[in-house]
Amino acid sequence: GDSVTQMEGPVTLSEEAFLTINCTYTATGYPSLFWYVQYPGEGLQLLLKATKADDKGSNKGFEATYRKETTSFHLEKGSVQVSDSAVYFCALSDLGAGNMLTFGGGTRLMVKP
């Protein structure tokens, strides 16, 4: 079945540091890929998405590129802020699996001033 693997956290960075959170996936079909963010006490909200190979999703300074050859969708940001502290989830939606969502385990990011 489909699966998503993320790097384990927590990831602790200083403000303005570069961020990478690794995500790899396995899927039977042609998935769309997503990054969601969860702030404390809230539900998940979409951060960015990519629907086909080589697409780059971007939002709020975050970027991720859909790499089919390496089955990866790593999240990056050039300069993190304290307000980016949250849990980040990589996910896929696979047409071959009835479009069911599959999530990674989540990575907690803590940014210190």
Partner 1 sequence: NAGVTQTPKFQVLKTGQSMTLQCAQDMNHNSMYWYRQDPGMGLRLIYYSASEGTTDKGEVPNGYNVSRLNKREFSLRLESAAPSQTSVYFCASTRQGLEAFFGQGTRLTVV
Which residues bind to partner 1, rule: CB under 8 A? 32, 34, 36, 42-46, 49, 51, 89, 91, 93, 95, 98-101, 103-106
Report CA Rg, the chain. Answer: 14
> At its nearest, how many Å lie between partner 1 and the CB of residue 111?
19
Contacts with 26 (C-beta within 8 Å, 6 or more apart), sequence order? 2, 3, 71
Give the whole-angstrom CA distance, residue 89 versus residue 105.
7
> At its nearest, how many Å lie between partner 1 and the CB of residue 37?
11
> At its nearest, how many Å lie between partner 1 and the CB of residue 54?
18
Distances (CA, A) of 76 to 33, 51, 70, 99: 15, 18, 16, 26
CB 24 within 8 A of CB 70: yes
> Which is nearer to partner 1, 61 or 105 (by Cβ)?
105
> Which is nearer to partner 1, 1 or 113 (by Cβ)?
1
> Which is nearer to partner 1, 78 or 105 (by Cβ)?
105
> Which is nearer to partner 1, 19 or 36 (by Cβ)?
36
**Helix, strand or coil, per DSSP, at residue 96:** helix
> At its nearest, how many Å lie between partner 1 and the CB of residue 20?
19
